[in-house]
Structure 1
Amino acid sequence: MLCATGVADAQVKWPAITQTNKPWTRWWWEGSAVNKSDLTTVMQQYAKAGLGGLEIVPIYGVKGTEKQWLNFLSPEWMQMLDHTLGEGKKLNLGIDMANGTGWPFGGPWIHEDNAAKTINYKTYTLTEGQTLHEKIFFQQEPLLRFAGQDKVKMEDVKNPVYSNTNLQALALDQIKFPGSFPATLVMAYSNDGQQINLTDKLNTAGDLNWTAPKGSWTIYALFQSLHGKMVERAAPGGEGYAMDHFSLKAIDHYLGKFDESFKGHDLSSLRAFFNDSYEVDDATGQASWTPDFLSEFQKRRGYDLRNYLPALFGKDKEELNSRVIYDYRLTVNDLIYENYTKAWHTWSAQKGKLVRNQAHGSPANILDLYSAIDIPETEGTELLRFKVASSAGNVTGKPLISSESATWLDEHFVSTLGDVKQAIDNYFVGGINHVFYHGLNYSPAKAPFPGWLFYASVHFQPANPFWNDFSTLNNYIAHCQSFLQNSTPDNDVLLYYPFTDIISKTGGALLKHFDAIDKEFKGTGFKENAETMIDHGYAFDYISDKQLLNLRNEGNELLTGKSKYKTIILPNAKLIPLETWQQLMKLASQGATILVYKGLPEDVPGMEKLAERQADYKQSIASLHFINDGNVQKASIGNGQFIIGNDVLQLLDYARIRKETLANDSLSYIRKKNETGSLYFIANKATKAYEGWINLATNASNAVLYNAMTEKAGIARTRQNSDGTLSAYVQMQKGESLLLQTASQTLTGNQYEYFKAAGDAVVINGSWKLHFVEGGPVLPKDVIIQQLQSWTNLPGEEVKKFSGTASYTTNFAKPKGTAKKWSLDLGAVRDNAEVFLNGKKIATLIGPVFSVVIDANALQQKNTLQIKVANTMANRIIDMEKNHENYKVFYNINFPARKATNKGADGLFTAENWSPLPSGLLSNVTLIPMAVLR
């Protein structure tokens, strides 16, 4: 393999495909209503389609199948897991499983003591000589949130919630039973700064036996209660409260259920356990407390939070409020990191398993949470969001970084393989190298069309007409990941993640959650710097305080994990932990360059030993002597330097950080490295084709181009630049991608072929036989057409209702001319096509451009062209909706609309008002003579 071995005489060839190179998928077991026979059948289909692995996630059930449900982790359920693991071995399908059902972690064995909790407070005022006549109780109002279609009332639910036997039907998201809660802490604060703990003065009836001494007093009473969050989308046997993610006792209890169920079962072929994001607080209120929080706080922060409740709740001076809320949130961060994430990872490692985790949404530094597990996983559509998971993986040397991919692309039933490919390319650019589709439902053979479905909008099901061509997309992803997984990051910049600034902000709720960069870091120098660097071709990763402490110098470079970096950017951070600053000073003194956007941090956060830490920080800052140097200010320290400037591009230029100018050409990219040289994945996200020379910010002699979709590969046209870098010539259709591998040694093998049009397009005229191959609800009759158009425009109703595959066949004479190559252009296609010429398959095309270059030798004097086109599921669904055929038969969240305009009277998705979507070949098919560029 050229890109991995570096052998000079290696021929240009593709790496072998492994199980992990292939895309994997989330695999929902609805109601866990699985059986061995159907499991074997569907897994064979998945393997044949080119999937590499499956992630089992039990989920809510299908109506009418209740007798088939298996309770999660029951002996019967474990038998199905055993069978699945066995079939996975036979079929070379890897298996992961969620450490729960739905999300977040929780279940019927989580009772009040281990469930997520919240803290409430009330205040009372007294002056000298007064006593409180009001009873101190917190009256909790009833709260009920549910996701099912049947309206649920509070009186329908028994207390405790885990005593209910119909939780699938209830589909609860959150519940708080009404009642009075006693205070767990009562503190009095005087106007002259005194604090008195009055908890022992409170009796069980809620009476406070205390007379206020001299001064004015404010009494704070804290009330701990259940947050009430339930496991969302829970499977049978998995319904119940979400666990307390701050408590080591809770996670030990939670995982103990798995220990008990796993006894006597061979899990050796199970690869990893998985968690589908934090999502505890996508509810009313926040899970903001744990029973031993006050003692944990004092142990970690060095002072008693009881003395600062007014500041905790934003009622003291602004600076004090900021410092106390920072310490509170930092303690929450520590508890999630240690008592949940690391404890779960330790448990999994003891079983010889990996952990895949979606940390986003947590009220903690998610860079550190991602670092604490084996495979960080992201989701969504934001490139800056992807980079949180990939940065953590890059900085800590993790070989795999995964993505929950293509969850919501468009409305139900209309997303195409081409749409998915564009989404996947964006993940690759964001540093992802281990794709998981979202997703695939187990659906038994007897299930009528469209089968069992999940409520996300892209349905990777065998019932989907694109399934026959699914292997083409999977093969593309496998080829890409065979390179991306066998290379290491090649980013130059570490962008400091200003977690401290965010968790020091006052106002709003107690907790800050970290998910989308656009939301949490809006208006910050961090977001501004990140966007600027992406737009101008600078390669970077984020870095946290904890990760930064593990950096070490190698001359002027910074080492961490398997990566080397050239510089760190402080993005106008206002606050910085003292130990972080001291590490930056140490790194700079040993040779590092620290870039400072706009200004140095103003202060250190938190309360513990504040005066001492502030003095140390000010003294350290004072030791830096900045001088003007053009547009920047520079301070030398030891072998390194700090550089301050108001323009991040000027800072990067001053520090001589390389940039990739291909970003200016509307090309998206990621640069990595391997033993041979630099590896680029390049995607053309523009609306038109790109052709020309791209300059690469890497020293090399030559390069190889790989087109993972067409499997075309060869030595690229290159030229050496005066600075030792390389330029390569590329041709890319819109939506197309290339892998480019540089090398310093002489390469042998095929030259990459470039083409240009050498004449006018020749329309393939004549009649076409249209034959409907497979699909439904019925196969329309064959028809001869003279003009290519959407088959939904043809006479009759059957063609308008049809979802499936149709074959277009025509005969044509070899066009005149001496061209050695021809581009066969299918024009507009809805939605993917297999192309056969003279009985031989030449391509599967998924768009957005539907053309393929063929050798003139493949053309005979008389030719037969067959094009099999598959549309989406939509037209058949439209017909079902109009006939009121009910396929939305799911408990819990049944089938929501992606767009409000597609919501029916029942609140569910409907396509009843849609017109049939265009399907098939919509325009002329042409042959264009091509010349090879020399």
Structure 2
Amino acid sequence: MNQLANKLDEALAGRVPARYLIPLFWQHGESHDLLATEIDAMHRAGIAGFVLESRPFPGFLSEAWFDTVEFTLRKAEKFGMKVYVFDDSHFPSGYADGLIERDFPQYLRQLLRMNYLDAIGPRPGVSLAVNAWQQTSEDRLFKVVAVKMTDNVDGLQAGSAVDLSDRVAPNGVLYWDLPPGRWRVCLFFRTREGGEEHTRNYLNLLDPAAVRCYLDLVYEPHYRRFKADFGRTFMGFFSDEPRFGSASSYEATLGRMPMVIPFDETLPEELAAAAGEDFTLSWPWLWFGDGEAAARARTIYMDRVSRLYSENFTGQIGAWCRAHGVDYLGHVIEDNGAHARLGYGNGHFFRAIDGQSWSGIDSVLLQNVPGFTDGRFSSMFCVSHDARFFHWGLGKLGSSCGHLNPTMRGITFCEIFGAYGWNEGLRYMKWMTDHFIVRGVNRLMPHAFSPREFPDPDCPPHFFAGGHNPQWRAFPIWSAYANRLCHLLSDGVHRATAAVLYHAEAEWTGGDFEPFETAVRALALGQIDCDVVPLDMLAEASVSDGRLQVAEETFEVLVIPYGQRWPETAKAVLQRLADAGLPLVWLREKTLPLPGESVAANKLVDHLRSCGQYDLTVTPAAPDLRFYHYQFADGDVYFLVNENLRDGLQVRLSFRDAKLQFGYDPLRNCWSPEPSKKEFPLELAPGESRFVIRGVAPPTESAWTRFRPNTVIQLETKWKILTATAEAYPQFTPFQEQASLGNLALPGLLPDFSGTIRYNAVVSVPPCAGRMELDLGEVWEVAEVAVDGVPCGTCIVPPYRFDVTGLLGSGRHEIQIDVTNTLAKKYGNNVYDRGLLQDPSGLLGPVTIRIE
């Protein structure tokens, strides 16, 4: 098979199929003409399709809605584009446009609240007005359990719990002879109050009948109307951030914060079956206590609610979609580790999205900011983003599920760019694209296209914005780049050295733990790649010749992040793998009596390399270099990114085997020869990316060699400056002339201007015979160059260098430089843009001619 060779030929020839970019397309009830204009723009930009999202649409599920769906389907069909439908009237999914609340209240979200009273005995003949603890008329008493305390805070004595439920009289009063000692009386109420208010009227995600009702209300009507389009143009549904909603928090770990918890009528039975005994006496340990009793109770509870969510919500919807010939896409809230918790979470990331056709994550609201790689940082919507999770964990979490879950076929999407503000231009977008794709994402869901009257204040940026976004002209450069990346990193198999154990079960126990991203970070800093693997998948995995096999992925070692406690199931799974010959490495400390060495995080890479467990070697050390190894039947690709936006790097890559190899620049879409078969010299500018292609013959065209100047001439000239907004372009208005270059977004210059700034100059160039480049220096942020009226190309990111060989011969020449900034200068006074420092505007230089 010539799979890789064919893909590279398609990329170089500009024939990459448009199937990788599927943006959100917001619907508010606009006219067909406006919708057609946006779809036309998407198609011209190489976009594969879109997700129709009510934002909100007046009358979701009405005839007007279905008319909009019909029109967009027909328009998309004309272009061969694909359409997905957001499965609710607004996010998060699970509201059914209010129909659950209105017509099926029995299916609304259920919660369990715990109130408690501390008392000291002995006190015979006491009573407690349990009914006085009811907070609403809908609250229903579930259980009353008393537990003896071991301290004056929250310690509970194992084996001391007493079920007092049958001692509550019909009048709502508990009658009891309080024994000697300090006791905590816990009152448990079934309730609908106390969780996240925003999702109060959402369906009960643990109840299969509730989810079936949701399918009947939202999915089935679409199928009845568009059955003939299912699997052809209507490709599936998209769920956005469904969650337990038991707290308005990312930190909702049992025993670590007071909260209500998810509940369902069948849950007590489920927990009893899992525990092998009545769970009644274990309920208090979900909130209080520590030690083995608390660890066991919390693990059983979290295991069951996360499985019920997986089976009854995602699993049921996914099965329905597969039965109807379409895909089911979506993502949950992963933020700050919520993926393994209650509250905004769903208990277990891999289970939560198990029924989906693709793995999915999102990065919105300034969750990924260059430079924030550790610790905490704030934005306008979160005072404490977990930088370690967002930088090292999020992308790997999503792509690992895509790699390891066979039904996902190696596909992971990221909903991306949303609510970063207008200051997020193509330069920032390219950085985010590289960040996620080098971590294994291979589909992008840009957020968003909005046909609403400009400027739509809802979560900018909007890419086309009815033609008002001045960077739209250069958007196809980004989309072509992103399509090429995804194309070369799809339909093959990811290759990584290490598997990292997903930490959810260690967190559930209530003990001290380190999240999986601690290990991912340690490995990435030393160029050892990994996937994150949950215990569920390890339980089904095999070991052959000392290598772990999960789906199509193989790993040489399993790295286990620190967990003070792990459930017995973990011990059994890990013991089986170790007995089969898989090397185990324990970060920080080994806490189970199993084989393997304990290694500090900062020594992990050295330890693995000493054991021969690595893919490539980088000399000298380059902690900002990321890589991703992807394999086809006829060869391998290594995608490499310099994540440092200030400093370039020069390193030598050493591979473990000798193969024919060459470099490929996916932004410039050209390749460069490399005679060595085992080493590769790599030079990357700040933020630059490159592929190393191994095992296939190089193409015959589009070869490129790195420019090595021996003469640099700085242009000293007068610049005539003109401006044009997106609406006025290409009609420019004179601004001023100046001899020096600098930031124009300053008082007295153009502080509020958004659009294109044109710099015209006449320069004299001495005679030269070699190749020539025009280097613009610092630019904010899209640059387009013409010499004597001849276009020389457009750059959306540094380095802003243009090949002008043959254009700048000796004599006088007219140079035209168009620099386009973002809409932040004119429209940045909003809640989204205030969260980012705004960049300068214009051409800052220095502008030089580089001669080889």
Q: TM-score, structure 1 length as denominator?
A: 0.76
Q: Distance in 2 between matches of 1:57 and 1:335?
A: 27
Counterpart for residue 379 of structure 1: 362
Amino acid at match of 2:279: L
2:658 to 691, 697, 700: 700
- Asked if 1:419 is matched to 2:428, the reply is yes
- Asked if 1:73 is matched to 2:61, the reply is yes
Q: Cα offset for 1:475?
A: 1.0
2:617 to 661, 664, 670: 661
Q: Cα offset for 1:781?
A: 3.2
Given that residues 449 and 462 in structure 2 are in contact (C-alpha distance below 8 angstroms), is that contact kept between their aligned partners in structure 1? no
2:106 to 91, 113, 116: 113
Q: Distance in 1 between matches of 2:449 and 2:462?
A: 9
Given that residues 17 and 479 in structure 1 are in contact (C-alpha distance below 8 angstroms), is that contact kept between their aligned partners in structure 2? yes
Counterpart for residue 206 of structure 2: 246
Q: Distance in 1 between matches of 2:349 and 2:698?
A: 44
**C-alpha RMSD of the superposition:** 3.6
Secondary structure of 2:100 counterpart: coil
Q: Distance in 1 between matches of 2:178 and 2:743?
A: 88
Q: Cα offset for 1:259?
A: 3.8
Counterpart for residue 785 of structure 2: 835
How many residue pairs get aligned? The number is 779
Q: Cα offset for 1:204?
A: 5.6
Counterpart for residue 676 of structure 2: 719
**Aligned runs of 1:169-568 on 2, under 5 Å?**
179=137, 181-187=139-145, 198-199=164-165, 202=168, 205-208=171-174, 210=175, 212=177, 219-227=185-193, 241-262=201-222, 263-266=224-227, 267-268=229-230, 269-279=233-243, 280-281=245-246, 283=248, 285-315=259-289, 318-359=291-332, 360=334, 361=338, 362-380=345-363, 381=368, 382-397=391-406, 398-407=409-418, 409=420, 412-443=421-452, 447=453, 450-456=454-460, 461=465, 462-505=467-510, 524=514, 526-568=516-558
Q: Distance in 2 between matches of 1:747 and 1:19?
A: 22
Q: Distance in 2 between matches of 1:308 and 1:296?
A: 13
Q: Distance in 1 between matches of 2:353 and 2:110?
A: 24
Amino acid at match of 1:477: A
Give the stretch that moved more between structures: 343-352 or 854-863. Answer: 854-863
Amino acid at match of 1:402: F
Given that residues 691 and 729 in structure 1 are in contact (C-alpha distance below 8 angstroms), is that contact kept between their aligned partners in structure 2? no
Q: Cα offset for 1:857?
A: 5.9
Amino acid at match of 2:533: I
Q: Cα offset for 1:40?
A: 1.1
Counterpart for residue 83 of structure 2: 95
Given that residues 672 and 705 in structure 2 are in contact (C-alpha distance below 8 angstroms), is that contact kept between their aligned partners in structure 1? yes
Q: Distance in 2 between matches of 1:78 and 1:274?
A: 17
The structure-2 alpha-carbon separation of the partners of 1:877 and 1:645, relative to structure 1 and needing over 3 Å to count, comes to closer
Counterpart for residue 157 of structure 1: none
Given that residues 441 and 453 in structure 1 are in contact (C-alpha distance below 8 angstroms), is that contact kept between their aligned partners in structure 2? no
Counterpart for residue 36 of structure 2: 40
Q: Cα offset for 1:427?
A: 0.7
Q: Cα offset for 1:292?
A: 2.4
2:759 to 808, 812, 820: 808
Given that residues 397 and 532 in structure 2 are in contact (C-alpha distance below 8 angstroms), is that contact kept between their aligned partners in structure 1? yes
Counterpart for residue 607 of structure 1: none
Amino acid at match of 1:384: G
Q: Distance in 2 between matches of 1:188 and 1:794?
A: 68
Amino acid at match of 1:136: N
- Structure label with greater radius of gyration: 1
Amino acid at match of 2:302: R
The structure-2 alpha-carbon separation of the partners of 1:374 and 1:700, relative to structure 1 and needing over 3 Å to count, comes to farther
The structure-2 alpha-carbon separation of the partners of 1:195 and 1:226, relative to structure 1 and needing over 3 Å to count, comes to same
1:772 to 724, 730, 739: 724
Q: Distance in 2 between matches of 1:762 and 1:205?
A: 91
- Asked if 1:49 is matched to 2:22, the reply is no
**Aligned runs of 1:683-698 on 2, under 5 Å?**
683-688=641-646, 690=648, 692-698=650-656
Amino acid at match of 2:785: V
Give the stretch that moved more between structures: 75-84 or 101-110. Answer: 101-110
Given that residues 114 and 260 in structure 2 are in contact (C-alpha distance below 8 angstroms), is that contact kept between their aligned partners in structure 1? no
Given that residues 509 and 566 in structure 2 are in contact (C-alpha distance below 8 angstroms), is that contact kept between their aligned partners in structure 1? no
Amino acid at match of 1:325: R
The structure-2 alpha-carbon separation of the partners of 1:714 and 1:368, relative to structure 1 and needing over 3 Å to count, comes to same
Q: Cα offset for 1:541?
A: 1.0
Q: Cα offset for 1:415?
A: 2.3
Percent of aligned pairs with the same residue? Answer: 17
Counterpart for residue 734 of structure 2: 782
Q: Distance in 2 between matches of 1:17 and 1:458?
A: 25
Q: Distance in 2 between matches of 1:857 and 1:901?
A: 40
Given that residues 764 and 926 in structure 1 are in contact (C-alpha distance below 8 angstroms), is that contact kept between their aligned partners in structure 2? no
Higher relative contact order (CA 8 A, sep 6+): 1
Q: Distance in 2 between matches of 1:351 and 1:771?
A: 53
* Deviation digits for residues 478-529 of structure 1 (CA, Å, limit 9, x no counterpart): 11111012432110111112322100107xxxxxxxxxxxxxx9x6284443
Counterpart for residue 774 of structure 2: 824
Counterpart for residue 849 of structure 1: 799
Given that residues 705 and 741 in structure 1 are in contact (C-alpha distance below 8 angstroms), is that contact kept between their aligned partners in structure 2? yes
Which runs of 5 or more structure 1 residues have no equivalent in the other structure? 61-68, 141-177, 233-238, 507-520, 603-620, 625-634, 636-641, 721-725, 882-894, 903-913
Q: Distance in 2 between matches of 1:504 and 1:795?
A: 57
Q: Cα offset for 1:806?
A: 4.0
Q: Distance in 1 between matches of 2:809 and 2:47?
A: 34
Q: Cα offset for 1:689?
A: 5.7
Given that residues 557 and 583 in structure 2 are in contact (C-alpha distance below 8 angstroms), is that contact kept between their aligned partners in structure 1? yes
Q: Distance in 1 between matches of 2:815 and 2:642?
A: 30
- Asked if 1:17 is matched to 2:13, the reply is no
Given that residues 536 and 659 in structure 1 are in contact (C-alpha distance below 8 angstroms), is that contact kept between their aligned partners in structure 2? no
Q: Cα offset for 1:188?
A: 5.5
Q: Distance in 1 between matches of 2:323 and 2:597?
A: 46
Q: TM-score, structure 2 length as denominator?
A: 0.83
Q: Cα offset for 1:308?
A: 2.4
Q: Cα offset for 1:466?
A: 0.8
1:755 to 707, 714, 725: 707
The structure-2 alpha-carbon separation of the partners of 1:561 and 1:495, relative to structure 1 and needing over 3 Å to count, comes to same
* Deviation digits for residues 188-239 of structure 1 (CA, Å, limit 9, x no counterpart): 568996766554554564244x55497788653311111466795xxxxxx9
Amino acid at match of 1:51: I
Amino acid at match of 1:425: D
Secondary structure of 1:756 counterpart: coil
Q: Distance in 2 between matches of 1:712 and 1:560?
A: 35
Q: Cα offset for 1:357?
A: 2.4
Q: Distance in 2 between matches of 1:897 and 1:7?
A: 39
Secondary structure of 2:711 counterpart: coil
Q: Cα offset for 1:393?
A: 1.4
Q: Distance in 2 between matches of 1:286 and 1:181?
A: 13
Amino acid at match of 2:81: L
* Deviation digits for residues 120-175 of structure 1 (CA, Å, limit 9, x no counterpart): 223456867515252424342xxxxxxxxxxxxxxxxxxxxxxxxxxxxxxxxxxx
Q: Cα offset for 1:366?
A: 0.8
Amino acid at match of 1:673: Q
Q: Distance in 2 between matches of 1:702 and 1:571?
A: 38
Given that residues 423 and 833 in structure 2 are in contact (C-alpha distance below 8 angstroms), is that contact kept between their aligned partners in structure 1? no
